[in-house]
């Protein structure tokens, strides 16, 4: 009842959830870009040690584009479908990703629910 949920039109449950994630990033860009240095995207079952996360983030320059997460290549069924070379990876969404204000700013209005080529 008191949980501040934001409903976005056009969200579906397709996998991978790129459209849903980009719509969420656009909402954060529109409403919070000037209020925070760091932004997180995480699943609802992620446990965060906020004291350790804060300590870690304070050691990094938040004015530079930073995209932090657990590196991965997807599951075996996705291999070859994600346009990744053998030695490339991306930040997996499940464990969550953290991005600096500058990273979110650079996406700007392009986060607006668009699915575009993503390489991390």
- Domains annotated for the chain, with CATH where assigned, are 18-108 (3.90.550.50)
pLDDT score, position 43:
80
pLDDT score, position 63:
94
Residue 40, pLDDT > 50, answer yes
Residue 119, pLDDT > 50, answer no
Q: Which residues contact 105 (CB under 8 A, 6 or more apart)?
A: 29, 33
Q: Which helix (H) or strand (E) holds 27?
A: helix 18-32
pTM: 0.72
Residues in a beta bridge with 100: 38
Rounded distance between C-alpha atoms, residue 73 and residue 51, angstroms: 29
Residue 120, pLDDT > 50, answer no
């Amino acid at each position: 009842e008191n949980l501040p949920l934001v409903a976005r039109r056009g969200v579906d449950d397709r996998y991978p959830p790129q459209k849903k994630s980009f719509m969420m990033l656009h909402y954060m860009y529109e409403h919070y870009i000037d209020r925070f240095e760091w932004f997180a995207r995480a699943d609802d079952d992620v446990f965060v040690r906020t004291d350790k996360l804060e300590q870690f983030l304070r050691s990094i320059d938040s004015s530079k584009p930073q995209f932090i997460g657990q590196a991965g290549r997807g599951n075996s069924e996705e291999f070859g479908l994600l346009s990744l070379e053998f030695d490339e990876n991306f930040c997996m969404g499940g464990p969550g990703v953290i991005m600096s204000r500058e990273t979110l700013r650079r996406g700007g209005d392009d986060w607006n629910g668009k699915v575009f080529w993503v390489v991390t």
